[in-house]
A and B are shown apart, each in its own frame.
Chain A
Amino acid sequence: MTTPRYAVGQRVRITDRTPPVHHRVPTYAKGKTGIIERVCGMHGQPERFVPGDGKPFRRLYRVRIPQSELWHAYEGAPGDKLDIEIFEHWLEPAK
């Protein structure tokens, strides 16, 4: 177990890249900014399961993003949110 790089409440940006392997970051979330909702456990990297066994395991987080940040013309209520699971190597600090 490594020490989590991010803490609950910290602002993070999901990096916008598309490696040519299986990965579990949907396009709609790439490049978006949210806060760490919770720090989850260590899990195998989706990108490393076909060429290997998912190792080294990576820290998983739940990132909370306002719907208005995700969608340019979101028509729901201002408080609507989306929580999504993102691995640490897909995150970078945000202001």
Chain B
Amino acid sequence: MTDHDHSRTFQPDHPEPKSDAALIGLALRELLIEDGVYSAEEEQAMIARMQGASPENGAQIVAHAWTDPAFKQRLLENAAETIKELGFDLSPLEFTVMQNTDTVHNVIVCTLCSCYPRTLLGMSPAWYKSKNYRARMVHEPRLVLAEFGVEMTDEVEVHVHDSTAELRYMVLPQRPPGTDDLSESELAALVTRDSLIGTHRDLGAQG
């Protein structure tokens, strides 16, 4: 038996691993660090970066698109490259932004697991990972959207995007009317997480 130093991988605020799977995960991480695949500092930095991401990132992109038509055009044509202008990078994943209009509403789901643009939206909400949402959003999107308070006439097409492989998605919601005088940061504050997923549509109404 060697004297392992768990402090490199074990965060003090985490509970002791209780299941075999959790123990194997911890052991694997320790081996990867021992073998120099990555360092404990790199692992901690990655965790901090993922936990630090929030929907404010996506909201910042939306507010910039609302105020800069050329940026918006680039964003819709090549989102992966264009968000680098604001310091965001999802590569090697592809990234695409879907624009809501008066006649189109976009919504995102990952039926196979729970793919989600964490870098831009933070950790996904529990309902996004639920089997209920994943199964029903592809099959009866209008009923699910109505449960979120989004009700539309048949004039509005619902486009569901199933994130099954290497793309990540974000919805570009419509700018609410009467916001011409707002600054970019004030506009960003209007953007909700759910509007970036597509389960919230009218940002002019309190969601």
Interface residues, chain A, with chain B CB atoms under 8 Å away: 24-26, 28-29, 40-41, 43, 46, 60, 62, 67, 70-71, 75-87
Say whether A60 contacts B159, CB under 8 Å: no
Say whether A82 contacts B162, CB under 8 Å: yes
Q: Residues of A contacting B159 with CB < 8 Å?
A: 80-83
Say whether B166 contacts A43, CB under 8 Å: yes
Residue pairs across A and B with Cβ atoms less than 8 A apart, 19 shown, are: A24-B112, A26-B112, A28-B111, A40-B166, A41-B166, A60-B166, A60-B167, A71-B139, A76-B140, A77-B158, A81-B157, A81-B160, A82-B138, A82-B160, A84-B161, A85-B164, A85-B165, A85-B167, A86-B164
Q: How many angstroms between the C-alpha atoms of A25 and B45 in the bound complex?
A: 34
A60–chain B nearest beta-carbon distance, Å: 6
Say whether A84 contacts B162, CB under 8 Å: yes
Contact A46:B154 (CB < 8 A) given known A24-B112, A26-B112, A81-B159: no
| Shortest 7 CB-CB contacts between residues of A and residues of B | A77-B154, A79-B157, A85-B165, A84-B162, A43-B166, A82-B160, A80-B158
Say whether A78 contacts B154, CB under 8 Å: yes
Q: Residues of B contacting A40 with CB < 8 Å?
A: 94, 166-167
B152–chain A nearest beta-carbon distance, Å: 8
Q: How many angstroms between the C-alpha atoms of A77 and B111 in the bound complex?
A: 21
Say whether A76 contacts B166, CB under 8 Å: no
Q: How many angstroms between the C-alpha atoms of A70 and B111 in the bound complex?
A: 14
Checking A41, A77, A85 against B162 with a beta-carbon cut-off of 8 angstroms, the contacting residue is: A85
Residues of B164-195 whose CB lies within 8 A of A: 164-167
Q: Residues of A contacting B158 with CB < 8 Å?
A: 67, 76-77, 80-81
Say whether B165 contacts A60, CB under 8 Å: yes
Checking B141, B156, B157, B166 against A85 with a beta-carbon cut-off of 8 angstroms, the contacting residue is: B166
Contact A43:B165 (CB < 8 A) given known A76-B140, A76-B142, A80-B141: yes
Residues of B12-35 whose CB lies within 8 A of A: none
Q: Residues of B contacting A41 with CB < 8 Å?
A: 94, 166
A33–chain B nearest beta-carbon distance, Å: 16
Scan B142-163; emit 1 where CB is below 8 A from any A CB, else 0.
1000000000001111111111
Q: Residues of B contacting A62 with CB < 8 Å?
A: 167
Say whether A24 contacts B160, CB under 8 Å: no
